[in-house]
Amino acid sequence: MTPVVLDCSAVVPWFLPEAGSEMSLRLFDGVADGSVLAVAPALLQVEFANVAWKKARQGLCSVPDAAGQFDRFLRLPIRYAGDAVLVKGSLALASECGITVYDACYLWLAIHARALLATGDERLRRAACGVGVEIYR
């Protein structure tokens, strides 16, 4: 089974008010039933929490709802990675690809896990294609 690296844009539509894509919804089914081996940098948890907080501040959901959705998100069977090697590699990759270090964390993990990348971020998609990482469709 080929692993799939999840970025925040792929998972937020599962839980919070946001336009989702068919890819994102199909991916959720696979992650939830275990047919997709989901991996992500630990950064995903922080990014998801930040988006949840932004949605609550914007009045799109209540703070308790945002916290509840974060709890649901944490129950998903996602394998998290995060250490100095990932961050240092991401810093170099960000420079090489002209993307943020945050985005480079997802890309670095996809490269080193030999994984597909699930993202709705067009800039990250272009960077992934530039380094030979396949996008989850």
pLDDT digits (tens, 9 = 90+) for 103-124: 999 999 999 999 999 999 999 9
pLDDT 10s digits, 44-95: 999 999 999 999 999 999 999 999 999 999 999 999 998 999 999 999 999 9
| Structural contact between residues 125 and 119, judged by C-beta atoms closer than 8 angstroms | yes
The fourth-level CATH superfamily of domain 4-43+77-130 is 5'-nuclease (3.40.50.1010)
Handedness of CA 25, 132, 41, 103 (dihedral sign): negative
Domains of the chain, residue spans? 4-43+77-130
pLDDT tier, 23 (very low <50, low <70, confident <90, very high otherwise) = confident
